[in-house]
Amino acid sequence: MKKGKNEHLNSAQQKLISKMTKRFMGSEVKLRLLQNSGIMINGLEFTFMGESVGAGSSKGFAVSLTCDEIDKNRLRFSTITMTAGSGAKNKSMTKKLERIKKSDGKYAYQAKFPGVYIPEAESLNGKDKLEQLLAGSRNQFVFKLTPYYEGEQEAEVMITLYPYESVLTGAATLYKKVTSNVNYYADSLKR
């Protein structure tokens, strides 16, 4: 009997958490970038992921990369490939990352994905949680790009993912290191 009671309590807790999350997030379109432990390495493909944590939107989003090395033209990118989760019908597209001059005189690489559907955040609950995570979430976006870096020191790159519907309050930011040392991981094992 207690087992059923605990399951009911867990279900009630999950509903409460879901309700509180929606209340906290509101009905705003909001994105999040997921942490990974990798480093960008010159000439090697780098993958990062984002996901919807708010309301859905059909207006799309943009990806931006900024850092001092981009300003100095020592870090370059050519294209970015985005694959959307099943909530966006598994769209996959490659866009040119354009080097644009910002209003402050600095530079950024930017790719725009207008019209890509951002699904409403999904709640992972119960026994389906592991299966959903392993299968890939329907509200996730996977990005792949290759850095071309000529600097001698490691640099930090700011990656920003922002939805057009709520550019300021729905944006997500992630900082990643970039290196020109293609033997970075082998060298780190020697230390």
Residue 56 sits in a domain whose CATH number is 2.60.40.1510
The DSSP bridge pattern shows strands 172-179 and 40-41 to be parallel
Indicate the number of domains in the chain. Answer: 1
Instruction: For residues 105-119, give the mean pLDDT.
Output: 95
Q: What is the pLDDT, as a whole number, of residue 36?
A: 85
pLDDT of residue 116 exceeding 70: yes
Residue 11 counted as domain residue: no
- Burial classification of residue 129, based on how many CB atoms lie within 10 Å of its CB (0-12 exposed, 13-18 middle, 19 or more buried): exposed
Residue 10 counted as domain residue: no
The DSSP bridge pattern shows strands 155-163 and 172-179 to be antiparallel
Instruction: For residues 100-119, give the mean pLDDT.
Output: 95
Residue 21 counted as domain residue: no
Q: What is the full DSSP assignment across 62-113?
A: EEEEE-HHHHTT-EE--EEEEEE-GGGTT-EEEEE-EEEE-TTS-EEEEEEE
pLDDT of residue 83 exceeding 90: yes
- State the pLDDT confidence band at 184, using cuts at 50, 70 and 90: confident
Residue 69 counted as domain residue: yes
pLDDT (tens digit per residue) in 129-152: 556 555 556 788 999 999 999 999
Residue 20 counted as domain residue: no
pLDDT of residue 63 exceeding 70: yes
Residue 12 counted as domain residue: no
- pLDDT above 90 as % of the chain: 61
Torsion, Cα of 136, 114, 41, 104 (10° steps): -140
Q: What is the pLDDT, as a whole number, of residue 6?
A: 47
Interatomic CA distance for residues 8 and 30, integer angstroms: 30
Range of the domain at 76: 26-190
Fill in the amino acid letter for 51. E
Residue 5 counted as domain residue: no
Residue 120 counted as domain residue: yes
